[in-house]
C-alpha cells in the first residue's frame, strides 16, 4: 500500500503538480521571495489558453531559469507601456483597453523612457512582474512563447 501511495505521489509530482520556492521579489506583495508555490502543469494542456492576469511559471526564450510572472498581453495583441499605465490593443487602429484592475502592483509607476509598444505573434504572451521596479520580465526579455509556459500558479504558501 505504501509503495502505491509513493508511486501515485511521484506520478502526480512529475505529470500534474510542480512546486518550488520563489527567489526574488518581482511578484511582491502577492508572492514574495521564499514563498512556496504550487503549479498546475496541466492548466493549459487540453486547449485552455493563458488568460490575462493569470500568474504563470515560464522560461524566457534564452536559457533562463523558470520565472513567475503575470500574463498581461495575449497573442496577436499590441501592448503599449507608459510609466503610468498599460494599454492593450487588438490592432493599430483600436483605441485599446487600459488595464485598470492593477491593484496588485507594489508601485504605481515603473522606470521607462517614453512609450514602448510590442506586437505579439499568434503564440506569444507578454508577462510582467507585479513589482515592476525590480522585475526582469517581457520588457527586457521579450515575449514568451506558449510552449515555454510551464503552468499556472494555483496555491502560494508563505514560509
The per-residue pLDDT for range 92-150, each reduced to its tens digit, is: 777 777 776 555 554 455 555 566 788 999 999 999 998 888 888 888 888 999 999 99
Domain residue limits at 70: 18-157
pLDDT given for residue 102 in this prediction = 59
Alpha carbon distance 106, 135 (integer Å): 11
Q: What is the pLDDT of residues 73-98, one digit of tens each?
A: 999 999 988 777 788 888 777 777 77
Q: Is the pLDDT of residue 153 over 90?
A: yes
pLDDT given for residue 112 in this prediction = 55
pTM: 0.84
Q: 3 lies in a domain?
A: no
Here the CATH number for the domain that contains residue 77 is 2.10.109.10
* One-character DSSP codes across 124-155: EEEEE-SSTTT--SHHHH--EEGGGEEEEEEE
How many domains is the chain built from? Answer: 1
Amino acid at each position: 500500500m505504501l509503495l502505491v501511495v509513493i508511486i501515485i505521489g511521484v506520478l502526480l509530482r512529475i505529470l500534474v503538480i510542480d512546486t518550488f520556492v520563489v527567489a526574488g521579489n518581482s511578484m511582491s506583495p502577492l508572492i514574495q521571495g521564499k514563498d512556496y508555490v504550487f503549479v498546475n502543469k496541466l492548466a493549459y494542456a487540453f486547449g485552455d489558453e493563458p488568460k490575462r492576469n493569470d500568474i504563470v511559471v515560464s522560461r524566457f526564450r534564452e536559457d533562463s531559469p523558470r520565472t513567475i510572472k503575470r500574463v498581461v498581453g495575449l497573442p496577436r495583441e499590441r501592448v503599449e507601456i507608459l510609466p503610468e499605465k498599460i494599454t492593450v490593443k487588438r490592432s493599430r487602429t483600436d483605441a485599446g483597453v487600459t488595464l485598470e484592475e492593477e491593484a496588485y502592483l507594489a508601485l504605481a509607476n515603473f522606470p521607462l523612457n517614453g512609450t514602448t509598444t510590442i506586437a505579439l505573434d499568434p503564440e506569444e504572451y507578454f508577462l510582467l512582474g507585479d513589482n515592476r521596479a525590480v522585475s526582469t520580465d517581457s520588457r527586457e526579455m521579450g515575449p514568451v512563447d506558449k510552449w515555454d509556459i510551464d503552468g499556472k500558479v494555483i496555491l502560494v504558501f508563505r514560509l
